[in-house]
Structure 1
Amino acid sequence: MSPLNIYINEGYLPMVDGSLVYHRGFGDRATRIDDANPALKLSPQVFTAAGPVVPSRTYPLNSPVPPSGRPAPSGPDPAYQRNFLPRRAYWASSFPERTLIAETGSTISILLQNTLSQPHQLRFHGAGPAGADVTSGLVEPGQTRLVELPAPAPGTYLFSDPGNEPVERTLGLYGGLVVIDPADAWRLNTGGPEFERQWLWMCHDVESTWARIASQGQTVNPLTTPAVPRYFTLNGYSGFQALALTTDEEFNKRREEDTLPSGYPRETDVRNFSASPASGAVRTGQLMRTLNAGIVTHQLHFHGNHVWTVRANGNDFPRSNGRVSPAGDVVLQQWEDTVQLQPRERKEAMLPVRRPPESIDAVWNARDEDWKYPMHCHAEPSQTAAGGLYPGGLMADWVLAVGPVREPGLPGTVEDDAHHTFRSQVDFASNQPHEGSPETEFPLRPNVSVELDFFGKDLRFPDGSEHEVWSFENDTSGRQLPGPIVRMAEGDIFQATVKPKKNVHTIHWHGIEPDPRNDGVGHTSFEVNGDYTYQWRPEHPEAGNPNRGSAGTYFYHCHVNTPLHVQMGMFGALVVDPRTDPARPTPAGSRRHSSEGPLYDIATETFLAPYSIDPRWHELNHAAGLSGDDAGLNRFEAKHFFILGGTIPARPKGDRVWAMSAMKANVTGGSKQPTLVRMVNVDYFPTRTRFLDAAGRPVQMAELIGHDGRPFWTTPSPTGPAVHPSTAGQPLLTSIIRSGAAEKFDFLLRPPAPGQYTIAVDFIHWLTGRVQATRTVAVTAA
C-alpha cells in the first residue's frame, strides 16, 4: 500500500469580491507561490479497508451519484400525501475539497512533504486512542515525514497545522476527516441515525492582515496583531459562490453536489430514523456533518426546517437522562434552528427535509416549484465580505424539491430566483429582488393579525447613552426597543402586515418555518418597499409526538442587510402558546409552556434578551456596504451592553428602551406556579448566563424546558410516546447556560428558598473568548 502524498504549499486564492489573498494549504502536488493555480485544497481521497487509496469525491465508491446532489425517492409515500419515500442505502454522497474519507479498518498513511521555508506539521485532532491527537511532529523545510494511524471510530474529525495556534489553520492549513463503516455506510455509526445521504460543512475565517504578514516571510504574532477576519467561508466559498449563483455552471453544479442540500419532502420521525414502510425505502432525513476550522464562534441557522442534533465532538447525545454540562451545554438529542460551533468544534445533526410546518395548506398543495431556504451563520458579521457586500459571507441554501411528477395547471407559490446568476458579489448584493406591494397568496381569515411599521428614532439607554434605533411599532406599542411582542396560539392563522415607509425591509420569523414567500428573505423571495401581509399558521401538536407542535419562544427581525438592520434594533419577541385544552384545564393565573409541558405563572412571565451596541454601526446608512464599499461590518466592537426585556404583562408604554435590572420569581414549593423566563440572544456574540445565590455562589435554579421554539424531549422508544425531561423525572436543572447569537432558551426559575438571587449575563467575544462585560438582574424570590 502506497501512502497518500500531501504537500504543504503556499499561493494566492481569489476571495468572493475578487481580491487575491495569500494562503497556505495541504495540496495533492507541489506548487510554488507564483503558481496561477496553486494546490492548496486537497481533492477528496478514500482510504479503503482493502488498502488502496482511491481518489473520489463520492462515497460509497460504487453507489450511484444523485444528479446535482439531489437523491430521487423510491416513490410517493402512500401514507402521507405529497410526500415521498427516500431510497434506503442507495445514493452516494459528494464531499468538498479538503476532505479525507477513511473506512473503518483502514490505515491512514500519508507522506507529508513541506515545500515551504518554515517548519509545519499535520495533526489529526481527537483521532488517536482515547481521543488523543495524532501528529506528524514538525517537518522541516524541504523534508518529508510519514504519518500513519488506524482509522478512528466512525465520525467527523478536523485535521490542521496547529503551529502558532491558530495562525497556520487560519492561513488555510486545515481539512476534514470523515470515517465511515463500509458495512454500515448510511449510518453515522453503529446504532446511530440512518440517513438518505450526508453532507460535510467546514466553516473557516480568512484574516487578510495575517495573510499579508505571512506572505512577506514574517511570523504572525496573534497577540500583537489581533485577528479581525475579513472573509467567512463554507467549504471554501462565500456569498453568491457558496450559493451556486455564478455564471460558471460547472462550478455551480459542484456546489450543488457537495455543499447545498436538496431532497424531496418526506415524513421523518426523530424517534426512529430507520422506519421502513416498504422494501428499499426508509423514512429518514439527511445527515449534516459540521466542523469549525475557523477562529470565531459560528451559529448555523437553518430556515425552513429545524435540525435534530445527535452528536458533538465525537460524543453521542443520549435520548434520555440528559444533563447540562459544566460549561452550560445541553447534552441531549434536541431540536435546534441555530447550531453553535465554537472553534475546532464538530457536530452532527439530521435535516428532516420535511414540509415546513408553518406553511398554509393551500400554499403547500399548490406548490409546483422547488422551495429554497437559506442556511447562514447568525453571528452576523460573518455574513459580510470585505466589510460589506451582504449577503457575502458564510452561507448556503437547501432545497425542498417539488414532486418528481408535476401536477399540471397549478399556480406557482414563489418567484423562482434560483436560476438567476450573477457576475460578481457586488452584482448579487446590490440586486436583491424588490417588490412594491405583493399580494398574499391564498389569504385566509386570520385569528391573529398585526401591523408592524418601520420607525427610526434616537432613544436613551439605561447607561445614559443615546443611539439612533430602527425598529417596528404598532398602534399601541409606542416607539420601543425591542419591537412589540407578537403572540398567538398553535393552529392560529396569523397575518402580519409590514410597512417599511422608506427604503426596503422584510420580516423574517426566526425559527418559524412557512413557505419561502412568507419567510422574509430577499434572495429566496423579495424585499418589500410598499407593504406586504405575511401569512402562516403555527403547527398543531400531537400527544407524545416530538415532531409536531410549535409552542415556544422565537423572534422576528428584518432580513435586509441583516448585520446592520438587526443591530439597529429591527427585532422583537414572538411567542407561540399552546391552545387551551378543555380536557386539561389549568389553574387560574397559569398557562402551559407547551401542550404537554409544565405550568408557569402568567403574572411573572419574563422576556430577557442580551444585546450590545457598537456606536459606529449606528451612524451608517441603510444600504451600507451593499455596493462594495468597506463599511466595516466585519468588525463589531461593542461599547454598550444591556439586558433588554422585563416582565411581559407589565411592559411599559411609550417611546423607550425596554430593559431590565430586577425581577420577581416565585419560590419553589410556594402556592404559585414557577416563573418562566424566555431568553433570546439578540447579541452577535456568545453569552454565558449564570445563576447565583445571595453569596455569589452558583445555584441550580434554572430548569431548561425549551430551546429554539421546541420543547426538550426524551425519546427512548422508537415507537412509544416522547415525554418532557421533567415528566420523565429527568429535569434539566442548571446554574449556567451557554448561548450563541440568535439562540432561544426557555427556563423555569426554581429558587430553593425565599431571598435574593442574581442572573448574571457574561458577554463573550466571539474570537478571544474573553468576557467583554457582565450585566446582572437582581431576582427577588418570594
Structure 2
Amino acid sequence: MNRRKFIYYGLTGATLLGGGALNLSWLRLLPRAVAASTSLSLAVEEVMVPMFHNSPPIYMWAFKSQMPHGPTYTAIDLATDSLDLPPPVPGPVLTVYEGDRVYLSVTNNHAGADHGFAIAKRPLPKLNPEALTEPEILIEGPIISPMSQVDFSFEAPAAGTYLYFDPLNNPINRIMGLHGALVVLPADGSTPYSNPTPAIQRLFSDLYEAEPFYTPDGSPGKAWDMLNPKRNYVWLFNDIDDIHVNTPLKNGVKLSPNQVMDTFLPRYFTINGRTGFPCAHAKENAPRGHIGEPVLIRCLNAGLASHSPHIHGNHVYELINQLHTDLQLRLAENIVELDTWELSPLVIKDVLHAYRKPPDIFPWPPDPGQYGLEGMRFPMHCHIEMSQTAAGGNYPQGAITDWVLLGPHQT
C-alpha cells in the first residue's frame, strides 16, 4: 500500500482506527505522500469513571482529548449509568506516521498537582526489577504546572505500538489513568512495521496468497488493511486499587510511590477502561469479522499486575518476541501460534488474529441461524485468575471481552 494518509482521533477511549463496528469516528483523514507536521491537544482532567450500572464511580485522572469533535460531556459530572459512553480512561489513541513532526499541546486542569507527558520506549524491559517504577523513556515533555499549558514537539518514532503516560510520581499518575496508546504507522502499510522481518513479511503476504489461509470454500483470505478501522484494535490493560490509591487521593491524602507499591491490591481489572460485562460487550473491545478477514490487536499493559490474555476459537500470531538474555522485545524471526500470551507490566505485544475457521465448529458451514443477530461470539479472558473478578465477585468479571465471527468468507 503506497498511499499515505494522516489520521487522528478525538474521542476518549483506547480504540484504534475508530468508526464502523468500533462506535467511534474517524475525525480527520488527509491524503499525503511525505512526512508532515501533526498537531494534537490533550488536557489532564479529574474524572469519575463508572465500572458497573448503579455502582459508585471511581475517581481517576485522564488525558482528555482537546481535538475537534471530541466528547462534549465533562466526565466528572457523569451519572453512574453512563456506560454507553466511551470511558474517559485511558486517553485517546494517538495515531501518526513514522517521521511526522508532532506538535503536542497539554493543559493541566488538575489544580492539585504537577503532571507530565512521556512516551515509553518500545521495546520495553520485561524482567528488569526497575520496570515497575521507572519505565525507560523515549520522549518526554516539560513538567506542566497546575492550571497551565505546555507546547512541545517531537519526531514520531519507528512504526509500532507505544505507551504514552504521565511519568511523574511514577507509577501513581500512570495507574490513576494518565496513559494511552500511541500508534505509529509505516509508510508502506503491507505490515505494521517499516522493516519487518522476513517471517512477518511472509505471514502478511500469506494471508491472501497461501493455502493455509484459504477459507473453507477454497477462496483466498484477505490482506490486512492498515487503514480499515475494523481490522485494527487496541487492548490496553490497567488495574485499579480504589481503596488504597484512588479514594485516598480523592480525599487529599498524599501518597508516595513506595507506599503504593507496598500496599497495591487491585480490585478492578480493565481493558480500554471497562471491566466485566460492560468490557465483554463493548464494541470498541471486541473484534468483528468474517472468515479470512485478519485483525491486528495491539496489546499494552499500563498497570502493575501481570496479565495473560487467552483467546478461544482461534489462535493468534505473535509478531513480537522477547528474549530473557537482554530483556528486549524484537520483531519475530519465527512466527508462532498462541492461544495465550504473557503481558507483564509495561509490556507491549502486537498479535495478528487471522480469522481462520474455528477448528472445533461442527458442522461446517454452520446454519446461518447459529450466527445470530450479532454473530458467533468467542471469549477472550485473562488467565491470571484474580483479573477475572471485580471488587470481589466471580468469573466472568474483570479483564474479559469477546471476538465475533460474523459469518463465512465474503468475496
Superposition TM-score, scaled by structure 1 size:
0.37
Shift of 1:19: 2.2
Counterpart code for 1:382: S
Shift of 1:389: 4.2
Match of 2:378 among 373, 377, 387: 373
1:583-732 equivalences under 5 Å are none
Residue equivalent to 1:201: 235
Question: Is the alpha carbon distance of 1:223 and 1:324 closer, same or farther for their aligned partners in structure 2, counting shifts above 3 Å?
Answer: closer
Asked whether the equivalents of residues 9 and 40 of structure 1 are also in contact (C-alpha less than 8 Å), the reply is: no
Q: Return the structure number with greater helix share.
A: 2
Asked whether the equivalents of residues 160 and 193 of structure 2 are also in contact (C-alpha less than 8 Å), the reply is: yes
Instruction: List alignment gaps of at least 5 residues for structure 2.
Output: 1-36, 67-71, 124-135, 205-223, 226-230
Shift of 1:4: 2.5
In structure 1, distance between residues paired with 2:275 and 2:86:
17
In structure 1, distance between residues paired with 2:407 and 2:144:
52
Matched-pair identity in %: 29
Asked whether the equivalents of residues 378 and 404 of structure 2 are also in contact (C-alpha less than 8 Å), the reply is: yes
1:551-566 equivalences under 5 Å are none
Match of 1:384 among 383, 386, 389: 389
Deviation readout 1:50-75 (Å, 9 max, x if unpaired):
xxxxxxxxxxxxxxxxxxxxxxxxxx
Question: Is the alpha carbon distance of 1:301 and 1:118 closer, same or farther for their aligned partners in structure 2, counting shifts above 3 Å?
Answer: same
**Greater radius of gyration (CA):** 1
Match of 2:308 among 268, 276, 299: 299
* 1:364 aligned onto 2:364: yes
In structure 2, distance between residues paired with 1:303 and 1:378:
12
Question: Is the alpha carbon distance of 1:143 and 1:337 closer, same or farther for their aligned partners in structure 2, counting shifts above 3 Å?
Answer: same
In structure 2, distance between residues paired with 1:292 and 1:300:
11
In structure 2, distance between residues paired with 1:354 and 1:294:
32
Asked whether the equivalents of residues 300 and 339 of structure 1 are also in contact (C-alpha less than 8 Å), the reply is: yes
Deviation readout 1:497-555 (Å, 9 max, x if unpaired):
xxxxxxxxxxxxxxxxxxxxxxxxxxxxxxxxxxxxxxxxxxxxxxxxxxxxxxxxxxx
Deviation readout 1:753-774 (Å, 9 max, x if unpaired):
xxxxxxxxxxxxxxxxxxxxxx
1:362-441 equivalences under 5 Å are 363-368=363-368, 369-370=370-371, 371-403=376-408
Residue equivalent to 1:100: 94
Shift of 1:367: 3.7
In structure 1, distance between residues paired with 2:286 and 2:115:
33
In structure 1, distance between residues paired with 2:350 and 2:389:
26
Counterpart code for 2:364: W
* 1:145 aligned onto 2:147: no
Shift of 1:2: 7.8
Match of 1:6 among 42, 59, 64: 42
Secondary structure of the structure 2 residue equivalent to 1:333: coil
Question: Is the alpha carbon distance of 1:3 and 1:402 closer, same or farther for their aligned partners in structure 2, counting shifts above 3 Å?
Answer: closer
In structure 2, distance between residues paired with 1:40 and 1:285:
25
Secondary structure of the structure 2 residue equivalent to 1:241: helix
Counterpart code for 2:273: G
In structure 1, distance between residues paired with 2:357 and 2:96:
34
Question: Is the alpha carbon distance of 1:206 and 1:111 closer, same or farther for their aligned partners in structure 2, counting shifts above 3 Å?
Answer: same
In structure 2, distance between residues paired with 1:140 and 1:8:
11
Residue equivalent to 2:103: 109
Deviation readout 1:100-140 (Å, 9 max, x if unpaired):
10122322211111111211101111279xx8521113211
* 1:235 aligned onto 2:235: no
Question: Is the alpha carbon distance of 1:176 and 1:366 closer, same or farther for their aligned partners in structure 2, counting shifts above 3 Å?
Answer: closer
Question: Is the alpha carbon distance of 1:227 and 1:31 closer, same or farther for their aligned partners in structure 2, counting shifts above 3 Å?
Answer: farther
In structure 2, distance between residues paired with 1:349 and 1:395:
17
* 1:180 aligned onto 2:185: yes
Counterpart code for 1:218: V
Query: Number of residues paired by the alignment?
Result: 311
Shift of 1:164: 1.9
In structure 2, distance between residues paired with 1:243 and 1:338:
18
Asked whether the equivalents of residues 136 and 147 of structure 1 are also in contact (C-alpha less than 8 Å), the reply is: yes
In structure 2, distance between residues paired with 1:175 and 1:138:
18
Q: Cα RMSD over matched residues?
A: 3.2
In structure 2, distance between residues paired with 1:301 and 1:372:
14
Question: Is the alpha carbon distance of 1:207 and 1:186 closer, same or farther for their aligned partners in structure 2, counting shifts above 3 Å?
Answer: farther
Shift of 1:364: 2.3
Counterpart code for 1:356: P
Match of 1:35 among 74, 77, 84: 77
Counterpart code for 1:189: Y
Deviation readout 1:200-242 (Å, 9 max, x if unpaired):
1111111102001111222223433511111111111112112
Shift of 1:328: 11
Question: Is the alpha carbon distance of 1:349 and 1:137 closer, same or farther for their aligned partners in structure 2, counting shifts above 3 Å?
Answer: same
Question: Is the alpha carbon distance of 1:127 and 1:356 closer, same or farther for their aligned partners in structure 2, counting shifts above 3 Å?
Answer: closer
Match of 2:51 among 1, 4, 15: 15
Shift of 1:33: 8.3
Deviation readout 1:403-422 (Å, 9 max, x if unpaired):
378xxxxxxxxxxxxxxxxx
In structure 1, distance between residues paired with 2:122 and 2:101:
12
Question: Is the alpha carbon distance of 1:327 and 1:101 closer, same or farther for their aligned partners in structure 2, counting shifts above 3 Å?
Answer: closer
Counterpart code for 2:269: F
Secondary structure of the structure 2 residue equivalent to 1:301: strand
Secondary structure of the structure 1 residue equivalent to 2:380: strand
Q: Return the structure number with greater strand share.
A: 1
Shift of 1:326: 5.6
Secondary structure of the structure 1 residue equivalent to 2:274: coil
Larger relative contact order (CA 8 Å, sep ≥ 6) = 2
Superposition TM-score, scaled by structure 2 size:
0.68
Instruction: List alignment gaps of at least 5 residues for structure 1.
Output: 44-95, 245-254, 267-283, 318-322, 406-782
In structure 1, distance between residues paired with 2:396 and 2:192:
32
